[in-house]
Chain A
Protein backbone atom coordinates (compact mmCIF):
# COMPACT_ATOMS: atom_id res chain seq x y z
CA UNK A 1 0.00 0.00 0.00
CA UNK A 2 1.55 3.27 -1.15
CA UNK A 3 0.20 6.11 0.92
CA UNK A 4 2.14 8.77 -1.01
CA UNK A 5 -0.51 8.23 -3.69
CA UNK A 6 -2.85 10.13 -1.42
CA UNK A 7 -0.64 13.19 -1.06
CA UNK A 8 -2.06 16.59 -1.78
CA UNK A 9 -1.26 18.37 -5.05
CA UNK A 10 -0.30 17.40 -8.59
CA UNK A 11 1.44 14.17 -7.65
CA UNK A 12 -1.15 12.66 -5.40
CA UNK A 13 -4.84 11.95 -5.34
CA UNK A 14 -5.50 13.54 -1.96
CA UNK A 15 -7.02 16.73 -3.31
CA UNK A 16 -9.11 14.84 -5.88
CA UNK A 17 -10.54 12.66 -3.14
CA UNK A 18 -11.31 15.70 -0.98
CA UNK A 19 -13.15 17.30 -3.91
CA UNK A 20 -15.02 14.06 -4.34
CA UNK A 21 -16.09 14.32 -0.72
CA UNK A 22 -17.26 17.89 -1.30
CA UNK A 23 -19.32 16.70 -4.27
CA UNK A 24 -20.80 13.88 -2.18
CA UNK A 25 -21.79 16.40 0.47
CA UNK A 26 -23.34 18.79 -2.08
CA UNK A 27 -25.34 15.99 -3.72
CA UNK A 28 -26.44 14.64 -0.35
CA UNK A 29 -27.58 18.03 0.96
CA UNK A 30 -29.43 18.85 -2.29
CA UNK A 31 -31.13 15.46 -2.38
CA UNK A 32 -32.04 15.67 1.29
CA UNK A 33 -33.63 19.09 0.80
CA UNK A 34 -35.51 17.93 -2.31
CA UNK A 35 -36.64 14.98 -0.20
CA UNK A 36 -37.88 17.21 2.62
CA UNK A 37 -39.87 19.38 0.21
CA UNK A 38 -41.43 16.29 -1.36
CA UNK A 39 -42.03 14.83 2.09
CA UNK A 40 -43.92 17.86 3.36
CA UNK A 41 -46.18 17.69 0.33
CA UNK A 42 -46.78 13.95 0.44
CA UNK A 43 -47.21 13.93 4.23
CA UNK A 44 -49.89 16.61 3.81
CA UNK A 45 -51.54 14.41 1.17
CA UNK A 46 -51.44 11.38 3.48
CA UNK A 47 -53.03 13.39 6.27
CA UNK A 48 -55.67 15.00 4.05
CA UNK A 49 -59.27 13.88 3.88
CA UNK A 50 -59.19 13.13 0.19
CA UNK A 51 -58.98 9.44 -0.60
CA UNK A 52 -57.37 9.95 -4.00
CA UNK A 53 -54.59 12.16 -2.61
CA UNK A 54 -53.95 9.61 0.15
CA UNK A 55 -53.75 6.86 -2.45
CA UNK A 56 -51.20 8.77 -4.54
CA UNK A 57 -49.02 9.43 -1.52
CA UNK A 58 -49.32 5.80 -0.40
CA UNK A 59 -48.25 4.58 -3.82
CA UNK A 60 -45.29 6.96 -3.77
CA UNK A 61 -43.93 5.82 -0.41
CA UNK A 62 -44.63 2.12 -1.00
CA UNK A 63 -43.01 2.01 -4.42
CA UNK A 64 -39.98 4.13 -3.60
CA UNK A 65 -39.30 2.27 -0.37
CA UNK A 66 -39.82 -1.14 -1.94
CA UNK A 67 -37.68 -0.79 -5.05
CA UNK A 68 -33.87 -0.65 -5.04
CA UNK A 69 -32.48 2.85 -5.51
CA UNK A 70 -30.13 1.49 -8.15
CA UNK A 71 -33.09 0.56 -10.34
CA UNK A 72 -34.54 4.06 -9.96
CA UNK A 73 -31.18 5.52 -10.95
CA UNK A 74 -31.07 3.40 -14.12
CA UNK A 75 -34.64 4.46 -14.95
CA UNK A 76 -33.96 8.18 -14.64
CA UNK A 77 -30.51 7.95 -16.21
CA UNK A 78 -31.67 6.06 -19.30
CA UNK A 79 -35.24 7.37 -19.40
CA UNK A 80 -34.87 10.98 -18.24
CA UNK A 81 -33.21 12.14 -21.44
CA UNK A 82 -35.86 10.51 -23.65
CA UNK A 83 -38.63 12.12 -21.62
CA UNK A 84 -36.90 15.49 -21.72
CA UNK A 85 -36.45 15.32 -25.49
CA UNK A 86 -40.12 14.37 -25.88
CA UNK A 87 -41.15 17.40 -23.83
CA UNK A 88 -38.66 19.62 -25.68
CA UNK A 89 -39.94 18.70 -29.12
CA UNK A 90 -43.60 18.34 -28.14
CA UNK A 91 -44.07 21.43 -26.01
CA UNK A 92 -41.30 23.78 -27.09
CA UNK A 93 -40.81 22.55 -30.65
CA UNK A 94 -37.10 22.08 -30.06
CA UNK A 95 -35.69 19.09 -31.91
CA UNK A 96 -32.03 19.33 -30.92
CA UNK A 97 -30.32 17.09 -28.41
CA UNK A 98 -31.04 17.80 -24.77
CA UNK A 99 -30.09 15.69 -21.82
CA UNK A 100 -30.30 15.90 -18.06
CA UNK A 101 -26.99 16.79 -16.41
CA UNK A 102 -25.75 13.86 -14.31
CA UNK A 103 -25.87 15.99 -11.18
CA UNK A 104 -29.57 16.70 -11.71
CA UNK A 105 -30.27 13.04 -12.49
CA UNK A 106 -28.53 12.04 -9.28
CA UNK A 107 -30.32 14.57 -7.11
CA UNK A 108 -33.70 13.56 -8.57
CA UNK A 109 -33.09 9.85 -7.92
CA UNK A 110 -31.70 10.15 -4.42
CA UNK A 111 -34.13 12.98 -3.62
CA UNK A 112 -37.28 11.01 -4.44
CA UNK A 113 -36.14 8.00 -2.45
CA UNK A 114 -35.04 10.17 0.46
CA UNK A 115 -38.43 11.90 0.25
CA UNK A 116 -40.28 8.61 0.60
CA UNK A 117 -38.56 7.91 3.92
CA UNK A 118 -38.93 11.50 5.13
CA UNK A 119 -42.65 11.45 4.31
CA UNK A 120 -43.26 8.74 6.90
CA UNK A 121 -41.12 10.55 9.46
CA UNK A 122 -42.95 13.85 9.00
CA UNK A 123 -46.37 12.21 8.91
CA UNK A 124 -45.59 10.48 12.20
CA UNK A 125 -44.34 13.72 13.74
CA UNK A 126 -47.48 15.64 12.73
CA UNK A 127 -49.64 12.93 14.28
CA UNK A 128 -47.86 13.29 17.63
CA UNK A 129 -48.97 16.90 17.99
CA UNK A 130 -52.12 16.71 20.15
CA UNK A 131 -55.27 17.79 18.35
CA UNK A 132 -56.32 19.81 21.37
CA UNK A 133 -53.48 22.25 20.80
CA UNK A 134 -54.68 23.06 17.31
CA UNK A 135 -58.22 23.44 18.63
CA UNK A 136 -56.99 25.69 21.42
CA UNK A 137 -55.07 27.82 18.93
CA UNK A 138 -58.19 28.12 16.80
CA UNK A 139 -60.25 28.98 19.88
CA UNK A 140 -58.08 31.95 20.73
CA UNK A 141 -58.45 33.13 17.15
CA UNK A 142 -55.15 32.23 15.52
CA UNK A 143 -55.21 32.21 11.75
CA UNK A 144 -54.33 29.18 9.70
CA UNK A 145 -50.81 30.41 8.91
CA UNK A 146 -50.04 31.41 12.49
CA UNK A 147 -51.31 28.05 13.69
CA UNK A 148 -49.04 26.33 11.20
CA UNK A 149 -45.90 28.29 11.99
CA UNK A 150 -46.30 28.72 15.74
CA UNK A 151 -47.95 25.50 16.86
CA UNK A 152 -47.30 22.83 14.29
CA UNK A 153 -43.84 23.55 12.85
CA UNK A 154 -41.80 23.87 16.07
CA UNK A 155 -43.23 20.66 17.51
CA UNK A 156 -43.12 18.69 14.29
CA UNK A 157 -39.50 19.75 13.86
CA UNK A 158 -38.67 18.44 17.31
CA UNK A 159 -40.45 15.13 16.87
CA UNK A 160 -39.18 14.61 13.34
CA UNK A 161 -35.50 15.41 13.93
CA UNK A 162 -34.35 11.98 15.14
CA UNK A 163 -36.10 10.28 12.22
CA UNK A 164 -34.79 12.84 9.76
CA UNK A 165 -31.30 12.19 11.12
CA UNK A 166 -31.73 8.57 10.05
CA UNK A 167 -33.01 9.62 6.65
CA UNK A 168 -30.03 11.92 6.25
CA UNK A 169 -27.64 9.04 6.92
CA UNK A 170 -29.45 6.87 4.38
CA UNK A 171 -29.35 9.70 1.85
CA UNK A 172 -25.67 10.39 2.37
CA UNK A 173 -24.83 6.72 1.90
CA UNK A 174 -27.13 6.37 -1.11
CA UNK A 175 -25.23 9.10 -2.97
CA UNK A 176 -22.48 6.53 -3.51
CA UNK A 177 -24.85 4.80 -5.94
CA UNK A 178 -24.75 7.75 -8.33
CA UNK A 179 -21.17 6.83 -9.10
CA UNK A 180 -22.54 4.08 -11.39
CA UNK A 181 -23.78 6.74 -13.81
CA UNK A 182 -20.52 8.66 -13.66
CA UNK A 183 -20.96 11.59 -11.30
CA UNK A 184 -17.51 12.29 -9.85
CA UNK A 185 -18.06 11.99 -6.11
CA UNK A 186 -16.09 9.94 -3.59
CA UNK A 187 -16.86 6.52 -5.06
CA UNK A 188 -16.26 7.49 -8.68
CA UNK A 189 -13.05 9.29 -7.84
CA UNK A 190 -11.87 6.24 -5.92
CA UNK A 191 -12.70 4.00 -8.88
CA UNK A 192 -10.77 6.30 -11.23
CA UNK A 193 -7.79 6.37 -8.87
CA UNK A 194 -7.92 2.62 -8.36
CA UNK A 195 -8.03 2.04 -12.09
CA UNK A 196 -5.08 4.22 -12.97
CA UNK A 197 -2.76 3.23 -10.11
CA UNK A 198 -3.73 -0.44 -9.73
CA UNK A 199 -4.07 0.07 -6.00
CA UNK A 200 -7.80 -0.42 -5.44
CA UNK A 201 -7.53 -1.09 -1.71
CA UNK A 202 -5.73 2.18 -1.03
CA UNK A 203 -8.46 4.14 -2.76
CA UNK A 204 -11.49 2.28 -1.49
CA UNK A 205 -10.24 2.37 2.08
CA UNK A 206 -9.80 6.14 1.66
CA UNK A 207 -13.38 6.37 0.41
CA UNK A 208 -14.45 4.26 3.37
CA UNK A 209 -12.75 6.62 5.80
CA UNK A 210 -14.16 9.71 4.07
CA UNK A 211 -17.71 8.38 4.35
CA UNK A 212 -17.10 7.46 7.96
CA UNK A 213 -15.93 11.00 8.65
CA UNK A 214 -18.87 12.58 6.81
CA UNK A 215 -21.49 10.51 8.62
CA UNK A 216 -19.86 10.96 12.01
CA UNK A 217 -19.56 14.72 11.70
CA UNK A 218 -23.06 15.29 10.31
CA UNK A 219 -24.54 12.90 12.85
CA UNK A 220 -23.09 15.03 15.59
CA UNK A 221 -24.72 18.05 13.97
CA UNK A 222 -28.08 16.32 14.07
CA UNK A 223 -27.65 15.46 17.76
CA UNK A 224 -26.93 19.12 18.44
CA UNK A 225 -30.00 20.15 16.49
CA UNK A 226 -32.09 17.70 18.52
CA UNK A 227 -30.88 19.24 21.75
CA UNK A 228 -31.54 22.70 20.36
CA UNK A 229 -35.06 21.82 19.24
CA UNK A 230 -35.87 20.32 22.61
CA UNK A 231 -34.53 23.30 24.57
CA UNK A 232 -38.01 24.30 25.73
CA UNK A 233 -38.93 20.85 26.98
CA UNK A 234 -38.66 19.95 30.64
CA UNK A 235 -36.30 17.06 31.19
CA UNK A 236 -37.72 14.16 33.10
Chain B
Protein backbone atom coordinates (compact mmCIF):
# COMPACT_ATOMS: atom_id res chain seq x y z
CA UNK B 1 0.00 0.00 0.00
CA UNK B 2 1.40 3.32 -1.10
CA UNK B 3 0.24 5.87 1.46
CA UNK B 4 2.19 8.67 -0.16
CA UNK B 5 0.17 8.19 -3.33
CA UNK B 6 -3.07 8.00 -1.39
CA UNK B 7 -2.29 11.31 0.22
CA UNK B 8 -1.59 12.88 -3.16
CA UNK B 9 -4.67 11.55 -4.95
CA UNK B 10 -7.08 12.28 -2.12
CA UNK B 11 -7.52 16.01 -2.89
CA UNK B 12 -7.81 15.37 -6.64
CA UNK B 13 -10.65 12.91 -6.11
CA UNK B 14 -12.31 15.20 -3.60
CA UNK B 15 -12.25 17.98 -6.19
CA UNK B 16 -14.38 15.81 -8.45
CA UNK B 17 -17.14 15.41 -5.86
CA UNK B 18 -19.04 18.52 -7.03
CA UNK B 19 -19.14 17.13 -10.58
CA UNK B 20 -20.75 13.90 -9.37
CA UNK B 21 -23.11 15.83 -7.11
CA UNK B 22 -24.20 18.25 -9.82
CA UNK B 23 -24.89 15.38 -12.22
CA UNK B 24 -26.91 13.56 -9.57
CA UNK B 25 -28.82 16.54 -8.18
CA UNK B 26 -29.73 18.12 -11.51
CA UNK B 27 -30.88 14.89 -13.12
CA UNK B 28 -32.74 13.77 -10.00
CA UNK B 29 -34.52 17.13 -9.86
CA UNK B 30 -35.48 17.19 -13.53
CA UNK B 31 -36.20 13.45 -13.41
CA UNK B 32 -38.62 13.93 -10.52
CA UNK B 33 -40.64 16.46 -12.49
CA UNK B 34 -40.63 14.13 -15.49
CA UNK B 35 -41.62 11.21 -13.26
CA UNK B 36 -44.60 13.13 -11.86
CA UNK B 37 -45.78 13.77 -15.40
CA UNK B 38 -45.36 10.16 -16.45
CA UNK B 39 -47.09 8.89 -13.32
CA UNK B 40 -50.03 11.21 -14.06
CA UNK B 41 -50.23 9.88 -17.62
CA UNK B 42 -50.11 6.30 -16.36
CA UNK B 43 -52.95 6.98 -13.98
CA UNK B 44 -55.03 8.91 -16.50
CA UNK B 45 -58.19 7.41 -17.94
CA UNK B 46 -57.01 7.81 -21.53
CA UNK B 47 -55.76 4.49 -22.90
CA UNK B 48 -53.38 6.06 -25.41
CA UNK B 49 -51.70 8.22 -22.77
CA UNK B 50 -51.52 5.27 -20.38
CA UNK B 51 -49.89 3.01 -22.92
CA UNK B 52 -47.42 5.53 -24.23
CA UNK B 53 -46.31 6.29 -20.66
CA UNK B 54 -45.95 2.58 -19.99
CA UNK B 55 -43.99 2.15 -23.22
CA UNK B 56 -41.57 4.90 -22.21
CA UNK B 57 -41.04 3.38 -18.78
CA UNK B 58 -40.64 -0.12 -20.18
CA UNK B 59 -38.08 0.88 -22.80
CA UNK B 60 -35.94 2.92 -20.43
CA UNK B 61 -35.97 0.30 -17.71
CA UNK B 62 -35.11 -2.55 -20.07
CA UNK B 63 -31.99 -1.09 -21.64
CA UNK B 64 -28.62 -0.26 -20.05
CA UNK B 65 -27.98 3.36 -19.18
CA UNK B 66 -24.68 3.13 -21.07
CA UNK B 67 -26.54 2.47 -24.33
CA UNK B 68 -28.85 5.38 -23.63
CA UNK B 69 -25.92 7.72 -23.01
CA UNK B 70 -24.02 6.56 -26.11
CA UNK B 71 -27.14 6.72 -28.25
CA UNK B 72 -27.70 10.34 -27.30
CA UNK B 73 -24.07 11.49 -27.28
CA UNK B 74 -22.54 9.57 -30.19
CA UNK B 75 -25.76 8.68 -32.01
CA UNK B 76 -26.82 12.28 -32.46
CA UNK B 77 -23.61 12.90 -34.40
CA UNK B 78 -25.00 10.91 -37.29
CA UNK B 79 -27.69 13.55 -37.83
CA UNK B 80 -25.46 16.49 -37.18
CA UNK B 81 -26.64 18.59 -40.13
CA UNK B 82 -30.25 18.04 -39.12
CA UNK B 83 -29.64 19.04 -35.51
CA UNK B 84 -27.56 21.96 -36.72
CA UNK B 85 -30.49 23.17 -38.80
CA UNK B 86 -32.95 23.07 -35.94
CA UNK B 87 -30.40 24.59 -33.58
CA UNK B 88 -30.06 21.66 -31.18
CA UNK B 89 -26.50 20.74 -32.04
CA UNK B 90 -25.03 23.30 -29.62
CA UNK B 91 -26.57 21.21 -26.83
CA UNK B 92 -26.07 17.73 -28.21
CA UNK B 93 -22.36 18.21 -28.80
CA UNK B 94 -21.90 18.86 -25.07
CA UNK B 95 -21.18 15.73 -23.01
CA UNK B 96 -22.70 17.43 -19.96
CA UNK B 97 -26.00 18.01 -21.72
CA UNK B 98 -26.13 14.43 -23.02
CA UNK B 99 -25.22 12.88 -19.67
CA UNK B 100 -27.85 14.87 -17.82
CA UNK B 101 -30.46 14.18 -20.51
CA UNK B 102 -29.84 10.42 -20.37
CA UNK B 103 -29.74 10.33 -16.56
CA UNK B 104 -32.93 12.40 -16.37
CA UNK B 105 -34.85 10.16 -18.77
CA UNK B 106 -33.58 7.09 -16.95
CA UNK B 107 -34.46 8.20 -13.43
CA UNK B 108 -37.72 9.65 -14.74
CA UNK B 109 -38.75 6.20 -15.92
CA UNK B 110 -37.78 4.47 -12.67
CA UNK B 111 -39.17 7.13 -10.33
CA UNK B 112 -42.49 7.35 -12.12
CA UNK B 113 -43.22 3.77 -11.10
CA UNK B 114 -42.28 4.57 -7.50
CA UNK B 115 -44.53 7.64 -7.48
CA UNK B 116 -47.36 5.74 -9.13
CA UNK B 117 -47.14 3.11 -6.40
CA UNK B 118 -47.25 5.85 -3.78
CA UNK B 119 -50.28 7.54 -5.32
CA UNK B 120 -52.14 4.27 -5.67
CA UNK B 121 -51.48 3.40 -2.04
CA UNK B 122 -53.58 6.35 -0.87
CA UNK B 123 -56.80 5.12 0.64
CA UNK B 124 -59.77 5.63 -1.70
CA UNK B 125 -62.04 6.52 1.21
CA UNK B 126 -59.98 9.60 1.93
CA UNK B 127 -60.38 10.85 -1.62
CA UNK B 128 -64.12 10.24 -1.44
CA UNK B 129 -64.27 12.12 1.83
CA UNK B 130 -62.33 15.01 0.33
CA UNK B 131 -64.71 15.04 -2.61
CA UNK B 132 -67.73 14.99 -0.38
CA UNK B 133 -66.65 18.08 1.52
CA UNK B 134 -66.21 19.79 -1.83
CA UNK B 135 -62.45 19.89 -2.38
CA UNK B 136 -61.43 20.57 -5.96
CA UNK B 137 -59.27 18.05 -7.82
CA UNK B 138 -56.17 20.20 -7.47
CA UNK B 139 -56.69 20.80 -3.79
CA UNK B 140 -57.40 17.10 -3.25
CA UNK B 141 -54.16 16.21 -4.91
CA UNK B 142 -52.14 18.82 -3.08
CA UNK B 143 -53.56 18.25 0.39
CA UNK B 144 -54.60 14.61 0.49
CA UNK B 145 -52.94 12.49 -2.19
CA UNK B 146 -49.53 14.06 -2.71
CA UNK B 147 -48.28 14.25 0.90
CA UNK B 148 -49.24 10.67 1.61
CA UNK B 149 -47.93 9.38 -1.71
CA UNK B 150 -44.61 11.07 -1.06
CA UNK B 151 -44.32 9.53 2.37
CA UNK B 152 -45.19 6.09 1.05
CA UNK B 153 -42.74 6.36 -1.82
CA UNK B 154 -39.85 7.71 0.21
CA UNK B 155 -38.00 4.45 1.06
CA UNK B 156 -38.06 3.28 -2.55
CA UNK B 157 -37.09 6.72 -3.75
CA UNK B 158 -34.13 6.66 -1.37
CA UNK B 159 -32.88 3.56 -3.17
CA UNK B 160 -33.35 5.33 -6.48
CA UNK B 161 -31.21 8.25 -5.27
CA UNK B 162 -28.40 5.86 -4.36
CA UNK B 163 -28.67 4.11 -7.72
CA UNK B 164 -28.45 7.50 -9.38
CA UNK B 165 -25.35 8.53 -7.46
CA UNK B 166 -23.79 5.30 -8.72
CA UNK B 167 -25.11 5.85 -12.24
CA UNK B 168 -23.43 9.24 -12.58
CA UNK B 169 -20.17 7.31 -12.87
CA UNK B 170 -21.20 6.39 -16.43
CA UNK B 171 -20.80 10.03 -17.41
CA UNK B 172 -17.06 9.35 -17.23
CA UNK B 173 -17.41 7.24 -20.41
CA UNK B 174 -18.21 10.39 -22.38
CA UNK B 175 -15.22 12.41 -21.17
CA UNK B 176 -16.77 13.98 -18.05
CA UNK B 177 -14.27 13.98 -15.21
CA UNK B 178 -16.38 12.97 -12.26
CA UNK B 179 -15.03 10.90 -9.34
CA UNK B 180 -14.85 7.75 -11.46
CA UNK B 181 -13.36 9.65 -14.40
CA UNK B 182 -10.59 11.12 -12.24
CA UNK B 183 -10.03 7.75 -10.56
CA UNK B 184 -9.58 6.05 -13.92
CA UNK B 185 -7.19 8.76 -15.05
CA UNK B 186 -5.05 8.39 -11.93
CA UNK B 187 -5.11 4.59 -12.15
CA UNK B 188 -3.97 4.71 -15.76
CA UNK B 189 -1.17 7.14 -14.87
CA UNK B 190 0.12 5.53 -11.67
CA UNK B 191 -0.93 1.93 -12.21
CA UNK B 192 -1.95 1.62 -8.55
CA UNK B 193 -5.60 0.66 -8.74
CA UNK B 194 -6.04 -0.47 -5.16
CA UNK B 195 -5.05 2.80 -3.48
CA UNK B 196 -7.19 4.90 -5.83
CA UNK B 197 -10.09 2.49 -5.54
CA UNK B 198 -10.07 2.70 -1.76
CA UNK B 199 -10.30 6.49 -1.75
CA UNK B 200 -12.84 6.78 -4.58
CA UNK B 201 -14.88 3.95 -3.07
CA UNK B 202 -14.81 5.63 0.34
CA UNK B 203 -16.08 8.87 -1.20
CA UNK B 204 -18.98 7.12 -2.94
CA UNK B 205 -19.81 5.18 0.21
CA UNK B 206 -19.88 8.33 2.33
CA UNK B 207 -22.08 10.11 -0.22
CA UNK B 208 -24.51 7.21 -0.18
CA UNK B 209 -24.32 6.98 3.60
CA UNK B 210 -25.36 10.62 3.85
CA UNK B 211 -28.24 9.97 1.43
CA UNK B 212 -29.42 6.98 3.47
CA UNK B 213 -29.31 8.97 6.71
CA UNK B 214 -31.10 11.93 5.18
CA UNK B 215 -33.87 9.78 3.73
CA UNK B 216 -34.22 8.01 7.05
CA UNK B 217 -34.48 11.32 8.86
CA UNK B 218 -37.11 12.58 6.42
CA UNK B 219 -39.05 9.36 6.76
CA UNK B 220 -39.26 9.70 10.53
CA UNK B 221 -40.16 13.36 10.32
CA UNK B 222 -42.81 12.97 7.66
CA UNK B 223 -44.69 10.30 9.54
CA UNK B 224 -44.28 11.13 13.22
CA UNK B 225 -47.32 9.05 14.17
CA UNK B 226 -45.49 5.93 13.09
CA UNK B 227 -42.36 6.80 14.98
CA UNK B 228 -43.75 8.04 18.24
CA UNK B 229 -41.23 8.60 20.98
CA UNK B 230 -38.50 9.66 18.60
CA UNK B 231 -37.46 13.24 18.23
CA UNK B 232 -39.20 14.79 15.28
CA UNK B 233 -37.97 18.16 14.15
CA UNK B 234 -40.64 18.82 11.55
CA UNK B 235 -43.33 17.57 13.89
CA UNK B 236 -42.17 19.92 16.59
CA UNK B 237 -41.98 22.81 14.17
CA UNK B 238 -45.45 22.04 12.93
CA UNK B 239 -46.93 22.05 16.42
CA UNK B 240 -45.21 25.31 17.25
CA UNK B 241 -46.59 26.88 14.10
CA UNK B 242 -50.08 25.58 14.70
CA UNK B 243 -50.15 27.08 18.18
CA UNK B 244 -49.62 30.46 16.65
Contacts and interface: CB of A to CB of B under 8 A. Distances in A.
Contacts of A8: none
Q: Report, as a range, how many residues of chain B touch the other chain.
A: 35 or more
A208 interface: yes
A141 interface: no
Interface in A185-236: 187, 190-191, 194, 198-202, 204-205, 207-208, 211-212, 215-216, 219
A1 B67 contact: no
Contacts of A65: 162
Contacts of A68: 166-170, 180, 204
A127 interface: no
Contact of A201 (B61, B76, B197): B76
Contacts of B3: none
Contact of B180 (A70, A79, A190): A70
B205 A173 contact: no
A219 B61 CA distance: 12
A74 B197 contact: yes
Contact of B64 (A1, A173, A194, A199): A173
Contacts of A61: none
A74 B187 contact: yes
Interface of A: 1, 62-63, 65-71, 74-75, 77-79, 82, 169, 173-177, 179-180, 187, 190-191, 194, 198-202, 204-205, 207-208, 211-212, 215-216, 219
Contacts of B188: 78
Given A176-B64, A207-B67, A1 B170 contact: no
Contact of A176 (B59, B67, B77, B194): B67
Contacts of B172: 70
B169 A70 contact: yes
A4 to B, nearest CB: 15
Given A1-B78, A176-B67, A204-B74, A79 B197 contact: yes
B88 to A, nearest CB: 14
Contact of B75 (A62, A177, A204): A204
18 contacts: A66-B205, A68-B170, A70-B172, A75-B194, A75-B197, A78-B188, A82-B193, A169-B62, A174-B64, A176-B66, A179-B66, A200-B74, A201-B77, A204-B70, A205-B71, A207-B67, A208-B71, A216-B62
Nearest to B78: A201
B173 interface: yes
A202 B205 CA distance: 38
Nearest to A80: B193
A1 B183 CA distance: 37
